[in-house]
Amino acid sequence: MTSSVRYELVDGIGVITVDNPPVNALSHAVRQGIHDALAAAQQDTSIAVLIVCEGRTFIAGADITEFGKPPKEPHLPDLCNSIEASSKLVVAAVHGTALGGGLEVALACHYRCAVQGARVGFPEVKLGLLPGAGGTQRLPRLIGAGAALDLMTSGNPVDAAQAANLGLIDHIVNGDLGDAALAWCGELAAKDVQRRRTSELAVESVPDGMLDAYRATLARRARGQIAPQKIVDCVEASLTLPFTEGLRIERENFIECLQSPQSAALRHMFFAEREAARVQGLSKDMPLRDVNRVGVIGAGTMGSGIAMNFANAGMQVALLEVSDEALGKGLGIIDRNYQGGVKRGKMSEEQALEYRGRITGTTDYESLSDADLVIEAVFENLELKQEVFGKLDAVCRQGAILATNTSYQNVDRIAAATKRPQDVIGLHFFSPAHIMKLLEVVRAEKTADDVLATCMALAKKIRKTPVVSGVCYGFIGNRMLGHYAREAQLCVIEGATPEQVDAVMEEWGMAMGPLAVFDLAGLDVGFKARQGLPEAERGDPRAFRVADALVEMNRLGQKTGAGFYRYDPDTRKRSSDPVVLTLIEREAAELGVTRGDIDADEIVDRLLFALVNEGMNILDEGIAQRPGDIDVVYVYGYGFPAWRGGPMHYADSVGLAHVLERVREFEQRFGSENWTPAPLLEKLVSNGNTLAEWANSGSE
């Protein structure tokens, strides 16, 4: 045994107990301990073997910290084969979660029981991997190829009741798992049930064309990703090959996925998301402020969505508008959102009513006097926001947190409109606010540490992924987006069509092309933001000529049925519009631009390296804490493909020297106004460092 695993005889049953907190991950010590205990059980007087876990969960998966390190025996596939080959009956007792390698251990056992509420699944695909210890071969034999594909390609777990219906779990336990599992294991042993080895089960055949149809669906749903398609290949092997051959195919595909840039990127994102929640220089023991009552000012699409987040998390919300008419519209948005959630099966009718009941409307600032947190979500105008914060300063209780949802404005200047700048912070939600995961938490110059800590903890409570940003125009995400948007629209002026730019970026992996995104957000949003800036700060005037002309034609995007594209009024499906091409050609001629062909590689590099170069400046200025934080912002807020790892990880993966070479090339071709290499980029290339190395060395 090892320190992580103990073995003892209890009422004639050999009990293997895994105790490797916090989640009993399958570290080398755990694998070795199970292996040794199983070997001991084969030699003693036990009548059966029971595998259980201490703490809050069964084995919740592999030890991800061991990825990339030389593997140590016993390897998990060999351990699973040993469990299945045991001459004595082996039963798994599941509580909490049995995920990934943990579920593979359970599948290798002859029978499985679980407590109510336990969850099982294969999340490997979310790390660019596939089950690599027999999961792709045992699962189809147990529950059928279709159900196995659904479970493995989604990566989403199912609860014990669903697992029992599928055939994954043989027995649901009530009461104490240890006692009940021991009793059930004893009953099975007394009946001398057969050692049901999953590898020996026949695989049910599937209809002709089923696998091809599944591949086609995944090609759309998981565009560009290799792991989901590899899972289908492995399941096909389970249908057509002997078990041992299937294991060989699985192992080959697992190694290929493990060594792929996609898995490296997804594993980077796994750690980056967790690291982003840690604020440098902030004590883990920082006392938090209580937040139970929340006020939201502005009942538009954003404010209504923000209110839903807090109501869904159990807090009372007061939604304030300037008039009864505006308030009624906002509450109507909330009602429709909840009805849509019920219709899509995201919540029950009872849940929707409960959540909606926590939101009340008001037109009186005095209604916010007892709020613990107030979030302003009014029009993007600095003077208006300062006026709102002046009113809040007068009515809100001392100690209340005052937050602005601004996308661009200076939070320090907003805080200065109050006598309590230490209580002011930026909470930048992304639209639709009740769905999007990202929350930029903007730390102003005088924001108190406990306010920042409270908001970071609160983000998790409302199921958001928080990233800390310093104060600058646009913070992390929108500041970088300005450069991405500039290059997208310059490519259009210089010769590409909106369709070409969007198709290239979507093929590369972006959830939506940039011009389609601008139409979705509303072209007037960017127009008004630019108009609010001094002319010298609006950037290259050529870049937004077409967008501004579209706004002047009242082509604001999807909300008016036309923008860069024309939209079907019923389906919102976009289609090309010759009017836009005529407009582009006219604006280019007026600017003296001779339009020409632009290839896909140039479009990708101009858009992405514009992001990267500005990301370098943001890091250098200390606006973002670390490169991974920028990646989290872009994956969760801007549709950047997680399997590319975010813009900063992508820069490392293609090589910073290559990025710098292209930036310098673009500087020569297009001028230094848009393409001055970031000093940090030049320094890292000069020193031969990657961004990851720079971040790990303390960012010096």
Q: Which CATH number goes with the domain that contains 24?
A: 3.90.226.10
User: Residue 569 is part of which domain span?
Assistant: 477-696
What CA–CA distance (Å, rounded) separates 610 from 602? 12
* Residues 491, 633 within the same domain: yes
Domain boundary among 258, 273, 303: 258
* Residues 210, 312 within the same domain: no
Write out pLDDT tens, residues 584-599.
Answer: 999 999 999 999 999 9
- Return all residues near 517 (Cβ < 8 A) that are at least 6 apart: 639
Domain boundary among 469, 500, 515: 469
Is 519 within a domain? yes
* Residues 253, 359 within the same domain: no
* Residues 192, 321 within the same domain: no
| 699 pLDDT higher than 70 | no
pLDDT at 538: 81
| 609 pLDDT higher than 60 | yes
The domain that holds 330 is classified in CATH as: 3.40.50.720
Confidence of residue 67 (pLDDT cuts 50, 70, 90): confident
Write out pLDDT tens, residues 305-335.
Answer: 999 999 999 999 999 999 999 999 999 999 9
Is 265 within a domain? no
- What are 429's strand-pairing partners? 439
* Residues 457, 497 within the same domain: no
- How many distinct structural domains can be found in the chain? 3
Is 270 within a domain? no
Q: Once rounded to an integer, what is the mean pLDDT over residues 537-564?
A: 92
Is 116 within a domain? yes
| 540 pLDDT higher than 90 | no
261 preceded by a cis bond (ω within 30 of 0): no
Is 302 within a domain? yes
Average pLDDT, the chain: 95
Domain boundary among 258, 278, 304: 258
The domain that holds 587 is classified in CATH as: 1.10.1040.50
* Residues 604, 633 within the same domain: yes
Contact 491, 606 (CB under 8 A): yes
Burial of 679 (0-12, 13-18, 19+ CB in 10 A): exposed
The single-letter code of the amino acid at 89 is: L
* Residues 156, 93 within the same domain: yes
* Residues 190, 216 within the same domain: yes
pLDDT at 531: 81
* Residues 491, 457 within the same domain: no
Is 273 within a domain? no
pLDDT at 455: 98
* Residues 40, 131 within the same domain: yes
Task: Please report, rounded to a whole number, the percentage of residues in the chain having pLDDT higher than 90.
Answer: 91
Is 135 within a domain? yes
pLDDT at 534: 83
* Residues 17, 154 within the same domain: yes
Is 285 within a domain? no
Q: Once rounded to an integer, what is the mean pLDDT over residues 109-129?
A: 96
pLDDT at 457: 97
**Helical segments of 86-193, H only:** 101-108, 135-143, 145-154, 160-166, 177-190
> Following DSSP, what letter does each residue of 26-65 receive, concatenated?
B-HHHHHHHHHHHHHHHHSS-SEEEEEE-TT-S--SB-GG
What residues are labeled active site? Answer: 104, 124
Contact 372, 385 (CB under 8 A): no
Write out pLDDT tens, residues 399-441.
Answer: 999 999 999 999 999 999 999 999 999 999 998 999 999 999 9
- What are 403's strand-pairing partners? 375, 425
Write out pLDDT tens, residues 201-249.
Answer: 988 999 999 999 999 999 999 999 999 999 999 999 999 999 999 999 9
pLDDT at 1: 63
What CA–CA distance (Å, rounded) separates 609 from 672? 14
* Residues 640, 623 within the same domain: yes
For residue 91 the two structure tokens come to 């039963």
